[in-house]
Amino acid sequence: MSGKISDLHGFVPDKADGALLLIDVVNRFDFPDAEELLSQALPMADSLATLADRARAAGVPVIYVNDNFGRWRSDFASLVEHCLEADAPGREFVSRLKPEESDYQVLKPKHSGFFSTTLGTLLEYLGTRTLILAGVTADICVLFTANDAYMRDYHLIIAEDCVAAVDEEDARVALKLMRRVLKADVKPSAEIDLESLAHFGKNGAQVRY
């Protein structure tokens, strides 16, 4: 077969200059230090949900980049169900951030969203060059994903009110590091111009594939 296909057999219909990565927001919060992390994450759930809704409305793809938590036989839908079970400590948080049918999902085995995943291929087909990062934890999985994105020459925007860590000071330090070393644009989610990150044609109409 010669030539490059225009999309992944029709399963990647979107084209956008930017994409929103929601990192590890589908989470049971049933691990060591999870209680402390959840206390930091719950207050930002509404801001995260609002940012995701704004991205969808603007035509910016929303990509759930999520740890598989060692559930190697699971798919993303099963992971969501697992995190919404009655005994899941993070059920309230996840219920506010459930993916919609239009969203994309990538399961990762390690900290970075790029390590041994399809994220890079998906972003290539989307035509994305700017990544908005949000989720948990700011000092581990968000930071590791941001680092790998920076090394792949993506422009980074970090929604500073949509990330959390076990310790608030650790989140602050991670944000400072991403701003200084990874040249990230760190700002409140309300200040992110999502419309400018959608893909528009010459006539100003949004291009949908």
Interval 21-43: pLDDT, tens: 999 999 999 999 999 999 999 99
pLDDT at 153: 98
- Count the neighbouring beta carbons within 10 Å of the beta carbon of residue 171: 21
Q: Is the dihedral of CA 99, 103, 108, 112 positive or negative?
A: negative
**Is the distance from CB of 13 to CB of 209 less than 8 angstroms?**
yes
pLDDT at 128 over 90: yes
Q: Distance between CA 96 and CA 178 in Å, rounded?
A: 27
Question: Taking the model in full, what pTM does it have?
Answer: 0.89
Q: Average the pLDDT over each of 1-5, 61-65, 68-72, 170-174 and give the range with the smallest value.
A: 1-5
Q: Distance between CA 154 and CA 70 in Å, rounded?
A: 29
pLDDT at 12: 54
pLDDT at 134 over 50: yes
Q: Which residue has the tokens 């993506």?
A: 154
Alpha helices in 101-184 (DSSP H): 119-126, 141-151, 168-180
Pair of tokens at residue 183: 């040249």
Q: Distance between CA 161 and CA 111 in Å, rounded?
A: 21
Stronger pLDDT, 148 or 69, i.e. the higher one = 148
CATH of domain 18-194: 3.40.50.850
pLDDT at 8 over 70: no
Using a pLDDT cut of 90, give the percent of the chain over it. Answer: 81
Q: Where are the domains of the chain?
A: 18-194
Is residue 19 classed as helix, strand or coil in its secondary structure? strand
pLDDT at 5 over 50: yes
Pair of tokens at residue 66: 């999520």
Stronger pLDDT, 12 or 175, i.e. the higher one = 175
φ/ψ of 136, rounded to 5, equals -135, 150
The CA-CA-CA angle for residues 23, 11, 118, to 5°, reads: 40
Is residue 162 classed as helix, strand or coil in its secondary structure? strand
Is residue 105 classed as helix, strand or coil in its secondary structure? strand
Q: What mean pLDDT value characterizes the chain? A: 89
Using a pLDDT cut of 70, give the percent of the chain over it. Answer: 86
Virtual torsion, Cα 83, 188, 179, 99, nearest 10 deg: 30
**Size of the chain in residues:** 209
